[in-house]
Structure 1
Amino acid sequence: MSKTYSISDLARELDVTTRAIRFYEEQGMLAPTRRGQERIYSGRDKVALKLILRGKRLGLSLAECKELIDLYDPSGNNLRQLEHFLAKIAERRRQLEQQLLDIRQMQLELDIAEERCRSAMAVARGETRNPVE
C-alpha cells in the first residue's frame, strides 16, 4: 500500500498552509480521496504540490504548473515533463533577462533625471550659471 497523507501532514511537511492546499485542490491540481470529511492525499498529490511550490518560486503561473503536473508520469518516464519544464525555465530566464535590461534602462533614466534636477536646483540657488543660457 502506498503512503498517504492528511492535509495537515502535507502542510507541515511542505511548509504550506492547509488553506493553500485546499485552494490548489479547488483549481484541480490536487485530487485527494475522501474518507468521510477527511481528505487523503496520495504520493502523486505530494509530488504535484512540490511541483506547484517549485513553480511558484520560479515565477510560473498556476496554469503552467498545472501543465507540468498533467505531464507527470508515476511510472517514472517523465521525459516529456522534463522537456516541457526546461522550456518553461528558458522562457522564464528570457523574461528575467528582459526585466534586468528594463531595470538598467530605468536606472540610467533616473540618473539623468536626478542630474537635471540637481543642476536646476543649483541654478535656482544661484550656485552656478545655467549652462543652457
Structure 2
Amino acid sequence: MTQHQTNDTYSIGELAKEFDLTPRSIRFYEEQELLSPERTGQNRIYGNKDRVRLKLILRGKRLGFSLAEIKNLFELYDSNPNSMLQLETMLQMTEQKRAVLRQQLDDIQMLMAELDEVEKRCRDELTELQKGN
C-alpha cells in the first residue's frame, strides 16, 4: 500500500497495520456503515474521521458494546454533535454494561467457590486414600 500521506488520509493497509486488524475487518465495518471512506477508483481513502471512528469502534467492542450500539451512538453524534441525548444514551448503555458485568462477576465468584469446594473434597479424599495405603 502507499506511504502515509501528509493530508491526514490513510489507506486501508495503513489503518489495518496501525490498529492490528485485517483489511477485511475494516471493510466489514464499512459494510456495517460505521466507516465511510472516500473512493478513488477501487481504492478506499480514509480520513481522520474514519481513523477516530475505528479507534472508537475497537474501544466500544472492548467494553462489550455491539456494533449496532456503536452505530447508534455515531448516528446520534452525526445528527447533533455534543448533544445531551448522545451523552444520556451513552450513560444508559454504560449502566447496562455494568449490570451485565456485575452479574457475570457474581456468576464467576460463585463458580470459583464451587471449584474450591470440589478441589477441597478431592484433596481430602485423596489424603484419606493415601493414609489407607
Normalising by the smaller structure, the TM-score range is 0.7 to 0.9
Mapped pair 1:34 → 2:39:
yes
Unaligned runs of 5+ in 2: 1-6
CA distance in 1, matches of 2:74, 2:47: 14
2: CA distance, partners of 1:78 / 1:50: 21
Matched, 1:81 2:71: no
- Residue-by-residue CA offset, 1:91-128 (whole Å, 9 max, x unaligned): 1111111111111111111111112112222333345x
Question: Structure 1 or 2: larger helix share?
Answer: 2
Q: Distance in 1 between matches of 2:55 and 2:42?
A: 24
Q: How does 1:5-44 map to 2 (within 5 A)?
A: 5-44=10-49
> 1:24: Cα distance to partner?
0.7
Given candidates 109, 118, 123, the residue that maps to 1:118 is: 123
Q: Say what the alpha-carbon RMSD is for the aligned residues.
A: 2.5
Residue pair 1:44, 1:74 contacting (<8 A) in 2 also: no
What TM-score do you get using the length of structure 1 for normalisation? 0.76
| TM-score, scaled relative to structure 2 | 0.76
Across the two proteins, how many residue pairs are aligned to each other?
A: 126
Percent of matched pairs sharing the same residue = 52
Q: Which has the larger radius of gyration?
A: 1
Confirm or deny that 1:63 pairs with 2:68: yes
Q: 1:72 to 1:122 in 2, by over 3 A?
A: same
Q: Deviations over 1:35-68 (max 9, x none)?
A: 1111122443233222211101212122221221
Q: Distance in 2 between matches of 1:28 and 1:83?
A: 23
Give the CA deviation at 1:89: 1.5
1:94 pairs with 2:99: yes
Aligned position for 2:3: none
- Name the SS of the counterpart of 1:59 in structure 2: coil
